[in-house]
Structure 1
Amino acid sequence: MLLLRGYVHSEFLADHRVRPPASIDNVPEEILSGGPVLDARGEKPISHRVPDHTLVLTFDDGPDPEWTPKVLDKLREHDAHGVFFVTGTMASRYPDLVRRMVQEGHEVGLHTFNHPDLSYQSTSRIDWELSQNQLALQGAAGVRTSLFRPPYSSTADALDDESWPVTQYIAKRGYITTFIDTDTEDWQRPGVGEIMRRATPKKDGDGAIVLMHDSGGDRSQTVAALDKWLPEMAGKGYKFANLTEALKAPSAHTPVSGFERWKGKSWVLAVGVSENAMSFLVVALAIVGVLVFSRFGLMLLLSAIHARKVRKRDFVWGRFPVTEPVSVLVPAYNERECIANTVRSLAASDHPVEVIVIDDGSTDGTADIVEALRLPNVRVVRQANAGKPAALNNGVRHATCELIVMMDGDTVFEPTTVRELVQPFADPSVGAVAGNAKVGNRDSLIGAWQHIEYVMGFNLDRRMYDILRCMPTIPGAVGAFRRTALWRVGGMSDDTLAEDTDVTMALHRDGWRVVYAENARAWTEAPESVQQLWSQRYRWSYGTMQAIWKHRRAVVERGASGRFGRVGLPFVSLFMVFAPLLAPLIDVFLVYGLVFGPSAKTALAWAGVLAIQGVCAAYAFRLDHERMRHLVSLPLQQILYRQLMYVVLLQSWITALTGGRLRWQKLRRTGAVEAAPTSGREKAGAL
């Protein structure tokens, strides 16, 4: 719809060049000295003049929604007719005005579709200008016309060696070319009196074709001049007629029907839809802008509050630090490339842990690899393949500790991760803790983009949600739970494809606090191909929608569930499901503005949005003690990577609305993340 609108608004193919006068060697003398109406359709060109005491009023460049109705009103008031040379772009956009012209007895002529100087154009472009102009006329008024006026033309004696061949070619296409006798130059707004003087024939009683404009700017002087000039000239014995009426020729209009009529009506209908679509999209863009900037503002403000709270030296979760042993659950399905690195990182933990690897029916020897390591406090629980939620629940049943840490089989922990992750449990109201998941394989372009997304889109968000007390997701790569809280909500559910989001929402509804531990860092292997990334994000996106729908009743419930339903669910739905669906409008309007203009302002506006995103990203990187060098790829991420995420979300919406089923898809792992850095700062060679 935007492309059609740009096409109709004469921006895409607009050509504003005007050729300077050329020689007249090849223009017949009888044409130069002849009348303003040129019929060159036959073997010999014929010129015609308007009879005495007859004025043919012609109006170029319309119709205009403001000035054309006023011109038509004045003509009707003074019982005058005229010829309107309409452009295809304006006739397509305002078909009702063209229809009114014909119904009120005026003639309509073609003035091309895009108003270019035809002497610069090829014959194919000329054909297109004429056919598109006729198509708009057919759709608007149901007629074709044989009258034509070239843009930037004037009197017949202004024809030259560049414009004469064009005039001949157009005549072969069946058109009568209409030039002028007098030019009011009303587009210069010289004043009402001057317009009237220029419109009047120099010799009293002479007939003339008068040029005026009903579009292209402020035409108030033209309307005022008509109101005075028409009765004045009528008092001198002049009549105001259509061109064919003045020449006593057949009407220039030919009714169209059948396919040609419906083709024109379809065109006009499509243009009307595109005009309305533009209005709708502008409103939608404004809504998106408010949402995007509100989200950025909230993230920056609340993340700053969260960071200040964490930095307070006297801030502690409870009277004493948490030192009790922790059960770490590692669900694994065909993780032979990663599992050894994962288990070794847990064995190096500075907090007492028991490690339980739940082998979910692996066929690649994952369990054998773990057992072969012979690490203390590490054991394997084997089960038939039943899915990740079942594996985690099985692990909880085998755990001996009250505090449960869950991680993925492709993730490695820092030595301090478990200790940092469980400290919030010193507060008895805390039921679960989200850790800081970081991309380990960030050297590729896709990895770098995901790194930016994790630091900015996930972890900065988690700081915001932590302050708002509506954390939507405990990441599967690094999260901790109280066993008591977990069993109270029924454990890990397989009702959705996002079991981590599902259980987090269930904990909120049960009254537990869910908090964020930014120093509990886990290094995970992100997808390294577009196909794997698509599969992962599709599952995440669709699973989040499932979880929101599953817990929708919280909106009308009381207590903790009601608070989450009326605060958390709207936030999550707005910022994670609905706003991203509209966000592509920013990029759509970027393309539209660059193609159809104003290009400079469009690029500047988009750069402003990118700059704000850059500020948020830089702040998030600073909070996470990350190097800024990866932000170099942020503009490219916005252009390419973000579009992929939009399409993934759209596909998730389609799947949800059509009731489709999405199965769990296992991602191929490479074992690229071998160990975690020993501090929060990225170190060269650590991965």
Structure 2
Amino acid sequence: MASRTRRQGAAHGAPDGSPRRRLPMRLLLPMLLLVALVAMLMLRGYVHSEILADHRVQPEASTDKVPEKIIDGGPVIDTRSGRTTSLNVPDHRMVLTFDDGPDPTWTPKVLDVLKKHHAHAVFFVTGTMTSRYPGLVRRMVAEGHEVGLHTFNHPDLSYQSKKRIDWELSQSQLALAGAAGIRSSIFRPPYSSFADAMDNKSWPVTRYIGTKGYITVVNNTDSEDWRKPGVREIVRNATPKGGKGAIVLMHDSGGDRHQTVQALDTFLPRMQKQGYEFDNLTEALDAPSASTPVTGAELWKGKAWIFLVGASDGITGAMVVGLSVIGSLVIGRFVLMLVLSGAHARRVRRKDFSWGPPVTEPVTVLVPAYNEAKCIENTVRSLMASEHPVEVIVIDDGSGDGTARIVEAMGLPNVRVVRQLNAGKPAALNRGLANASHDIIVMMDGDTVFEPATVRELVQPFGDPRVGAVAGNAKVGNRDTLIGAWQHIEYVMGFNLDRRMYNLLRCMPTIPGAVGAFRRSALERVGGMSDDTLAEDTDITMAMHRDGWRVVYAEKARAWTEAPESVQQLWSQRYRWSYGTMQAIWKHRRAIVEKGPSGRFGRVGLPLVSLFMVLAPLLAPLIDIFLLYGVVFGPTEKTILAWLGVLMLQAVCAAYAFTLDRERLTPLISMPLQQILYRQLMYVVLLQSWITALTGGRLRWQKLRRSGQVATPGGVPTQRRRVAHEERESIR
């Protein structure tokens, strides 16, 4: 049974007169939020991983196209404006260069040593590291060091297109502008060496770089600190001979650089005593500064880039914490469900188990119905086949499709129809309660059918005078479609397995509207059904707990309900469920501080429901978002294996639930696809519910379209019987 509120007023139409459909803001916002989270994670992966890097140092090519004066020249190569010249650093001047940084651990230590010995250096930074640690680049500039480009992702440019080279340069300059507000004109290609190592692959890149206004800087003294040969060996390798000038290659990133730091502390004072000066490149060459200030739009673009990278790091850090939380919740919930649901099944299936004296007195079954013409005959006939004496009251809540007339035309004993103006499901149930003749009230939906034993099994727990309400076992009847099969898995695993667990913990959160039973006195004590929330079944269950009643689960009380058959209907139903559950939790929040037996639900049930039904589903998308992240940025194989491990854990839990419910395992074949598609839909639905709740939006009931094709196992739906009868009559 669903809403009754009709939309007032006509929607604004399109120019052609057709209604204009707009995406609701509460649907648009969760979609945008998910897209934003994925974008932040992708940005983080982009600047943290080296997905575009090329660590394959390519084999050397021939050198016949490289000018001799370049091969025999110095480490500073200038090909700007058609020039082909090279320069050496003057004697007794040394330019220390550090590649691959800035690194948050080693770059500050290198800067500290340089500052200690009043030395300057050149840092060839990558765009990715500059984006992540802009403060270190600002410190370099503030302390008088020079900053050069070392590409963005550290690829071997000798094997890249001009478009990729342009991109590497522009992205690096963007990061540098955002970090320090400057632009640099010096460049060092990754994997470069001495000038005499220039070949036919690297020389065209050097010439092209020159046309973009850059001076290429290689080196003529390699400390080989990347090999970690020891402090003494690094100092020896970095020392030029005969007082000659040198450009020394070192590294402040890319691994453990403690040997480099220690070597610097020895190397600098030793060489200064020999008369060496440690200058920037342009200082050593007496040339204009390689850095120029950036202003205007370029500066603000750079700052925006740095801000977004920082935001992506912060958001990703929070997401990692969230992933840890959801991982713990998922594993904890699975362990609880497996252990407690098994204990519940063993308990209620013992031969000597009994709720108390058998319950044999007649009960009243309330069937609220709103436009259930396609289903209501199936529902009523299933009740007439009950093994337990029943009084059936169909409350027609202002139906416009003749639902009441169909029931009246059936002329069945002990079946009454109560009509009322459209007022909603809670009002219809309360109206039925006022007309009930018996002390035990069974409630069901107008699209549900009971097995002959359902009512009998459902009311037996009332043999225990402490029991105020009983939850039945709701089954998906139309499970022959893919969406139906997915909901069938969800019902058996997510709902019924949960109910076993909550039953043992004595904090059942929901009596399903499709199949539930109540003591009339208990209902009256809590004020009957309430329309304060959109989840009246959860609301009344929580009220029962707070009033001190026990709420239990009857596994054999099976009811077959018609699940939504389209994505739109499923969305509407789950949106209402999620939002209504949040409303019920908020309404009964004071249960947390209540004492005595009635406070058990507040101490145990409410926190568990909040964690497992609200928080966990809200954080669950992180599993799939990080799956996407791992597949794109690596490690791909480990990520896929981890996801398969989670899927296997869910499959084991689902198989156990199906076994407990004595269901065939065949539908579980579709479970991997359910995890990829169906679960994502549920994520967005819950996000939409959260946004609705946080923004104070109001959600109305929505009537789901029914086909009337659901029947008990072995039964034939009334709709199908009617069609078959009409076919036989036409043949006659």
Pair in the same fold by TM > 0.5: yes
Specify the code of the residue in structure 1 equivalent to 2:267: W
Q: Say whether the 8 Å CA contact 2:457–2:554 is kept in structure 1.
A: yes
For 1:415-434, list aligned pairs within 5 A: 415-434=452-471
Q: Say whether the 8 Å CA contact 1:413–1:676 is kept in structure 2.
A: no
Q: Secondary structure at the match of 1:218?
A: coil
How far did residue 377 of structure 1 move?
2.1
| Residue number in structure 2 paired with 1:408 | 445
For 1:75-224, list aligned pairs within 5 A: 75-201=114-240, 203-224=241-262
Q: Say whether the 8 Å CA contact 1:510–1:560 is kept in structure 2.
A: no
Provide Cα deviations, 1:576-634, integer angstroms capped at 9, x if missing partner: 11221112111111111111111112112222221211111111101000111111111
- Please, which of 628, 642, 649 is the counterpart of residue 591 of structure 1? 628
- Please, which of 332, 348, 353 is the counterpart of residue 315 of structure 1? 353
Aligned counterparts of 1:11 and 1:34: Cα–Cα separation in 2: 33
Provide Cα deviations, 1:183-221, integer angstroms capped at 9, x if missing partner: 1221111122221222122x3121111111111011111
| Residue number in structure 1 paired with 2:316 | 278
How far did residue 250 of structure 1 move?
0.4
Aligned counterparts of 2:264 and 2:324: Cα–Cα separation in 1: 42
Provide Cα deviations, 1:136-187, integer angstroms capped at 9, x if missing partner: 1112211111100000011112111111111111111100000110112211
Provide Cα deviations, 1:407-449, integer angstroms capped at 9, x if missing partner: 1111111111011000001111111100000001111111111
How far did residue 648 of structure 1 move?
1.0
- Report which structure shows greater RCO (CA 8 Å, sep ≥6): 2
Q: Say whether the 8 Å CA contact 2:560–2:711 is kept in structure 1.
A: no
Provide Cα deviations, 1:308-351, integer angstroms capped at 9, x if missing partner: 11111111011x21111111111111111111111111111111
Provide Cα deviations, 1:537-576, integer angstroms capped at 9, x if missing partner: 1111111111111122222333344332222222211211
| Residue number in structure 2 paired with 1:376 | 413
Instruction: Report whether the alignment pairs 1:538 with 2:575.
Output: yes
Q: Say whether the 8 Å CA contact 1:341–1:675 is kept in structure 2.
A: no
| Residue number in structure 2 paired with 1:388 | 425
Aligned counterparts of 2:79 and 2:115: Cα–Cα separation in 1: 33
How far did residue 276 of structure 1 move?
2.2
Instruction: Report whether the alignment pairs 1:13 with 2:41.
Output: no
Q: Secondary structure at the match of 1:42?
A: helix
Aligned counterparts of 1:121 and 1:43: Cα–Cα separation in 2: 22
Instruction: Report whether the alignment pairs 1:623 with 2:665.
Output: no
Q: Secondary structure at the match of 1:569?
A: helix
Provide Cα deviations, 1:350-389, integer angstroms capped at 9, x if missing partner: 1111211111111111122222222232222222211111
Q: Say whether the 8 Å CA contact 2:52–2:155 is kept in structure 1.
A: no
Specify the code of the residue in structure 1 equivalent to 2:191: Y
Specify the code of the residue in structure 2 equivalent to 1:35: G
Q: Say whether the 8 Å CA contact 1:414–1:677 is kept in structure 2.
A: no
Aligned counterparts of 1:76 and 1:360: Cα–Cα separation in 2: 83
Specify the code of the residue in structure 2 equivalent to 1:128: W
- Cα RMSD for the two superposed structures: 1.4
- Please, which of 244, 259, 269 is the counterpart of residue 307 of structure 2? 269
Instruction: Report whether the alignment pairs 1:496 with 2:533.
Output: yes
- Please, which of 511, 529, 533 is the counterpart of residue 474 of structure 1? 511
Q: Say whether the 8 Å CA contact 1:74–1:226 is kept in structure 2.
A: yes
Provide Cα deviations, 1:519-554, integer angstroms capped at 9, x if missing partner: 000010000101000000111111111111112222
For 1:559-574, list aligned pairs within 5 A: 559-574=596-611
| Residue number in structure 1 paired with 2:333 | 295
Specify the code of the residue in structure 2 equivalent to 1:2: L
Instruction: Report whether the alignment pairs 1:248 with 2:286.
Output: yes
| Residue number in structure 1 paired with 2:61 | 22
Q: Secondary structure at the match of 1:84?
A: strand
Q: Secondary structure at the match of 2:367?
A: strand
Q: Say whether the 8 Å CA contact 1:58–1:209 is kept in structure 2.
A: yes
Paired residue total: 676
Instruction: Report whether the alignment pairs 1:230 with 2:258.
Output: no
Instruction: Report whether the alignment pairs 1:239 with 2:277.
Output: yes
Aligned counterparts of 1:205 and 1:571: Cα–Cα separation in 2: 75
| Residue number in structure 1 paired with 2:584 | 547
How far did residue 677 of structure 1 move?
4.7
Aligned counterparts of 1:558 and 1:191: Cα–Cα separation in 2: 68
Aligned counterparts of 1:462 and 1:187: Cα–Cα separation in 2: 60
| Residue number in structure 2 paired with 1:685 | none
| Residue number in structure 2 paired with 1:682 | none
Provide Cα deviations, 1:80-124, integer angstroms capped at 9, x if missing partner: 211110001111111111111111111110000000001221112
Aligned counterparts of 1:213 and 1:12: Cα–Cα separation in 2: 21
Instruction: Report whether the alignment pairs 1:632 with 2:669.
Output: yes
Which consecutive residues of structure 2, in runs of 5 or more, have no partner in the other structure?
Answer: 1-39, 716-732
Aligned counterparts of 1:354 and 1:68: Cα–Cα separation in 2: 82
Which consecutive residues of structure 1, in runs of 5 or more, have no partner in the other structure?
Answer: 679-687
Specify the code of the residue in structure 1 equivalent to 2:262: A
Q: Say whether the 8 Å CA contact 1:11–1:597 is kept in structure 2.
A: no
Specify the code of the residue in structure 2 equivalent to 1:181: N
Aligned counterparts of 1:461 and 1:246: Cα–Cα separation in 2: 74
